[in-house]
Chains A and B, each alone.
Chain A
Amino acid sequence: MWEVLQLDFMRNALVAGILVSIACGVIGSLVVVNRIVFISGGIAHSAFGGIGLAFFLGFSPSLGAALFAVGAAMIMGAVSFRARHRSDTFIGVLWAIGMAIGVILIDLTPGYHVDLMSYLFGSILTVPLSDIYMMMVLNAGILITVTIFYNEFIAMSYDDEFAFIVGIPVRPLYFSMLGMTAVSVVMTIRVVGLILVIALLTIPPYIAEKFTRSLSRMMAMSSVLGILFTLCGLYLSHAYDLTSGATIILVAGVGFFVFQCVGLLKPKGGSAP
């Protein structure tokens, strides 16, 4: 195990896994309690359009993914405000169109298409140091924003109507949440790929929600669970030579069912500690 850590790419993978798990723990908790899991899936898949565009025009695929993810997040946010009851259809359409744009643009790109799979299923073992620094900056941004506006985020997530009445700017807050979701999604694509993003974003918070009594603890527990799943998955994928992203998700999936059973035995509630 220790000699593995001597390898640069393994160290980077470890740090990337931890950083992504923290972002997913914090933002995933907001995603779960705000019930925007479908939007986050839509963001992840439409990001593929940006990756295609980046290949086609020859700029950084991460930048392309980020542009499309944030763009899609804002459009989906606007639609879900305007036509609440039809927004899921619209999100599904954007989801598919984003993927299709990506595939077509890559078709149109001349030359050899190397790491398409790495965007679909992640490539945590090839994260360069520059990406790690970028992830640190983004993580810091997310943590600072959520810490400062923690009470407002709770109020909006729990009861947006009441939040509006007391004068919280619900709309800007909602869009900033979607923006942070887009950023987290792009980071997570690096690790587990866009197809598996939803799992890492939602499984840890879903488990944590059953065992915690406040949003901050839910975020903390989700982050810890995410780190646990990512590191276990990374270890197993290295030991048995499996695709890292899929292994991480499978570990999370096993965790999901284990905790589901534990949760049935010990429901939360009861008197105060």
Chain B
Amino acid sequence: MNTLAIDMRGVFFSYEKIPVLEDVTLILNQGDFLGILGPNGGGKTTLLKLLLGILKPDKGEIRVLGESPRHAKHRVGYVPQNTDFNTDFPISVMEVTLMGRLSRSRFGKRFSKDDRAQAEAILRKVGIWDLRHRPVGSLSGGQRQRVFIARALATDPEILFLDEPTASVDPEFETDLFEFLRELNQTVTIVTITHDVGVISRHVKSVACVNRSLIFHEEGKITPEMIDMAYHCPVDLIAHGIPHRVLPFHTEE
């Protein structure tokens, strides 16, 4: 691969003097599928927002696809953690999806036939074409999640960022989603935040753990170090049914 998908070095960030991220370095090749683990409040979402250019680091260098995050942001897609906002807003599935076709360059223009065709293709791909006229607020959590994935895909991203995409959906959809993402990963770099260690073990290529600092493992293994950092209590983790095969000595295929 020529340019790195993500190249962040020595990044510090704090909210009103409270340090959230300290000396974070993360290097990710294009085509990778990164899972980000970590406790609540550990800085996972902050990390994503730095990469999207929504937040600016206090210190350190961030490059996304070889550009500054602000310049690269139109080349990435983003699926937010919360999809149950503005549920009274009168907007249809199709309209939200088309939002992904907006950009600075076409400011103030109508959607073209091509935009609509692309939106249709994506809605069919994520399996909600039949719901295209429905108000987004009337959908179930899983359906709404698909809408936001469709919107992110409509931007034609080179990297897709997902913030806990399975936080509010049924387990069935979770499996479907990761199957879908794995297929998508053939052409798109994927970075997903998750608190589900099982998901990480089955689907991702590399894994990072964020809790103020960051540990990265490019072969997707969860090291005891990570577990310790993420949860401070391995016993509790096992009690939650972490599949045994994620442990480092396991081999797959």
Contacts and interface: CB of A to CB of B under 8 A. Distances in A.
B134 interface: yes
Nearest to A173: B107
B3 to A, nearest CB: 20
Contacts, number: 96
Interface string B93-109: 00110111011110110
A272 B134 contact: yes
Given A168-B107, A273-B133, 14 more contacts: A151-B102, A155-B102, A157-B89, A158-B96, A158-B99, A159-B85, A159-B99, A161-B78, A162-B151, A163-B99, A165-B73, A214-B92, A268-B138, A269-B134
B208 interface: no
Contacts of B133: 213, 272-273
A141 interface: no
Interface of B: 52-54, 73-74, 76, 78, 80, 85-86, 88-92, 95-96, 98-100, 102-105, 107-108, 110-111, 132-135, 137-138, 151, 155
A215 interface: yes
Given A154-B91, A158-B91, A271-B134, A164 B102 contact: no
A175 to B, nearest CB: 15
A111 interface: no
The list of the 6 closest CB pairs from A to B, nearest first, reads A272-B133, A167-B104, A269-B138, A167-B74, A155-B99, A212-B90
A164 B135 contact: no
B99 to A, nearest CB: 5
Nearest to A273: B133
B135 A163 contact: no
Interface of A: 33, 148-149, 151-152, 154-155, 157-159, 161-169, 209, 212-215, 217-218, 268-273
A6 B76 CA distance: 62
30 contacts: A151-B102, A151-B111, A154-B95, A158-B91, A158-B99, A159-B80, A159-B99, A161-B80, A162-B78, A162-B151, A164-B73, A165-B52, A165-B53, A165-B54, A166-B102, A166-B104, A167-B74, A167-B104, A168-B104, A209-B88, A209-B90, A212-B90, A213-B90, A215-B90, A268-B138, A269-B134, A271-B134, A272-B132, A272-B134, A273-B133
A158 B99 CA distance: 10
Nearest to A151: B102
Contacts of A214: 90-92, 95
B86 A159 contact: yes
B91 A215 contact: yes
A268 B91 CA distance: 12
Nearest to A219: B90
Nearest to A270: B138
Contacts of B88: 209
